[in-house]
Structure 1
Amino acid sequence: MCEMNPYLYGEIIPSTSIGEYRLGIKLNELLNGIDVEYTLKKSRSNTFTHVVDIEGMSFFFDFSTELLIQITVSSGYKGKYKGLIGIGSILIEYKDQISYQLDKEDNDCGLFLPNAPGMWIQTAKWGDDNAPIELISVNKIHKNW
């Protein structure tokens, strides 16, 4: 029997949080607050030092401060941005409600929402707004579009 995890249903808020998890918290604060199974990976990247994975979510921490700088949701996550788009959504279906465009500097199928800085979306096919959304990330570090 599959147990429902309430953290999988939180709202996606650009530059701020996904569900109960807020950007800017310390690594130990997150680990002490997680009551589900997780994996912790140490990275050799100059950008982030630890990655914590739980079902449907990944947390990336800054190399020097160990503060949470990015949250990415993937398959299994049920929460949405503005109650509209989430994992598996097709962006083109919301073109009248949400403005978005291709991030030409991103090679990972990235789309961004000009009215929601600090949030990016990856679809199953590069730059295809008719392909299902596979990843949604929020971060405090964003480009000036």
Structure 2
Amino acid sequence: MATFFISSRQANIRFRRSMNPVIGDEFSSRHGQKGVYSQLWPNVDMPFSGVTGMRPDLIINPHAFPSRMTIAMLLESIAAKESESESNSLVDELGSMLTACGFNHHGVEVLYSGVYETELTCEIFIGPIYYQRLRHMVSDKFQFDTISNVWP
């Protein structure tokens, strides 16, 4: 932010720039699930759903959920697939919402490899989640030294 004084008046000017995510940037969900952008694949190489054609923007390691106990993130993903129902049980309510929209009752889908175009051998839970990029961007953190010798 730059501050300029023009006679007795003051003007605050903020400069903003949009930056695309790069490898090393940090992301976080609403539930505190943080992670680092570790690999960048072209969109055509990402796995896709055979039913909806949906391709994920972000793939999360499933082993992170039990240890970090962010089950609300899974519920957010199920509820985001469809947002209204009339049953009593939360599991039945969310499952019936998914079924009414043409998804599996448990939210899992069969994905196809974007590289080989073959069916993946496991069922994968896929759904929309709100993620935000944190201010810890790798472009702001990198350092270099031009004085030191590279080879001792």
TM-score between the two structures when normalised by the length of structure 2: 0.25
Larger radius of gyration: 2
Higher relative contact order (CA 8 A, sep 6+): 2
Higher share of residues assigned strand: 1
Higher share of residues assigned helix: 2
TM-score between the two structures when normalised by the length of structure 1: 0.26
